[in-house]
Amino acid sequence: MKIKHSFWALALGSVITFTSCNKDESNTSETQLKSTTSLSYFGTSHNSKLDYVGNNTSDLENSTPSERLETADGYIDPVFGDLNATTLSQSNTGIVYTDGIYSDLLNAGNTLSSDSYIDDSFSSYYNNLGQLFQDVLDSIDIQIDYTPQDFSTKVDLIINEIEASHNVSLNESNWSGSEAAKAIITLEIAKASYSYWHDASVTNSTNPWASHMDIHAKVQAGFWDKLWLGVRKAATDV
């Protein structure tokens, strides 16, 4: 299962929408991980690229998807290197697909499984993540802020369950990994993305996307409107 390309397709998709990866079996060349520290870097890298695009796109608030993608192409990750592998058309296709998943979060894993993106045995983990995003959106409806720490704590419970039940392996020479590694990477990106967009929405006015959130929340500077938009972006990211 190739991880690197699918990861960056999702990351670029998040950059473009501010307005696929086939499953492979684990192979014997993979190294059993002693911890998931290396997997957490996918989330760190995701946020670093968002910062890069936010800080380097000219007139970010009025920029077009193609302009943001052009900026993203200039990012060089210190671990993954040059990741200019996703076209605007590919990203838009991914965006349409992820928007469909967002419309039915409780069945996110079932959808991914039926479309052969994940193994059937992992659908419950993705369903649980979808349920968590739905819980957050429901909390916003009654004006309760679900903090990044709260969100991460819930996600870590899913990660712990995967680690206890499955082989987590990653081959960093070609970025292939087990189904469990792919799931944990998705969850690490979920934590990082949620923290990033929560920060942009309600916490840190120095976040490069903060003013963009003000404009696109429709109600200027509305706390709950911006927070809702931030959570939706995080869910679509993942």
Each residue's pLDDT expressed in tens, for the chain with a length of 238 residues: 444 444 444 444 454 443 333 344 433 333 444 344 588 999 999 899 889 988 999 888 888 888 888 888 888 988 888 876 567 777 777 778 887 888 888 999 999 999 998 999 999 999 999 999 899 888 888 888 889 999 999 999 999 999 999 999 988 777 788 999 999 999 999 999 989 988 888 766 788 888 777 655 554 446 656 666 666 666 665 5
Question: What pLDDT does residue 238 have?
Answer: 55
Q: Determine the residue type at 169.
A: S
Helix (H) / strand (E) containing 177: strand 176-177
Interior angle at CA 87, CA 192 and CA 188, nearest 5 = 15
How many C-alpha atoms does 113 have within 13 Å on its Cβ side? 14
Residue pair 169/1 in contact (Cβ under 8 Å)? The answer is no
The SS3 call for residue 218 is coil
Task: Give the closest residue to 161 by CA, choosing from 128, 113, 133.
Answer: 128
Task: Give the closest residue to 60 by CA, choosing from 168, 209, 162, 231.
Answer: 209
Residue pair 30/170 in contact (Cβ under 8 Å)? The answer is yes
Residue pair 151/128 in contact (Cβ under 8 Å)? The answer is no
- Strand runs labelled E in 76-126: 76-77, 81-82
Q: Determine the residue type at 106.
A: L
Tell me: the pLDDT tens digits for 180-199? 999 999 999 999 998 998 88
Annotated domain spans of the chain = 4-237
Q: Determine the residue type at 130.
A: G
Two tokens at 214? 């003000």
Euclidean distance between CA atoms 118 and 11, whole angstroms: 18
